[in-house]
Homo-oligomer: A and B are copies of this chain.
Amino acid sequence: MPKTWAEDAQHRLREAGYRNGPVRIAVIELLDAENCCVSAADVHASLNERVGLASVYRVLESLHAAGLVRRVDVGDGIARYEPLRESGEHHHHLVCTECGKVEAFDDPALERAIRRVEAKSGYAVEQHDVVLQGACDTCR
């Protein structure tokens, strides 16, 4: 791949009329380095809290509006974001009910089953999420 997701994201946001300020670039780099979901608070902490929390939310919101990130909610009331890469592959999440850890998994058969449900639903489905909750192997 010629371009990283970070470069692509900066480019597409610029085309959408946004300017790339230091906070935006930093957030994008951070997301690109992460493979699974991160919360706004995570980003804020990773940036050493030297940036305004509102700016972090703004950047994540603009990325979401541009379709560059996926918003994931695993049920704990905290929104998390993860980059939507060109490849189109995506994953779902296992949440430990004991320690709160979030892990990723993917499964082609599950995707096919969901695809079929989507087709039958009558909805123009844009996104689907599967969340499994339970005790992880270290917690039980």
Chain A contacts to B: CB under 8 angstroms: 71, 73, 75, 77, 79, 94, 96-97, 105, 107, 109-110, 112-114, 116-118, 120-137, 140
Contact = CB atoms under 8 A, between A and B. Distances in A.
B123 A96 contact: yes
A129 to B, nearest CB: 5
Q: How many copies does the complex hold?
A: 2
19 contacts: A73-B73, A75-B129, A77-B79, A94-B121, A94-B123, A107-B113, A109-B113, A110-B117, A123-B132, A123-B134, A123-B136, A123-B137, A124-B135, A124-B140, A126-B134, A128-B131, A128-B133, A129-B129, A131-B131
A77 B125 CA distance: 20
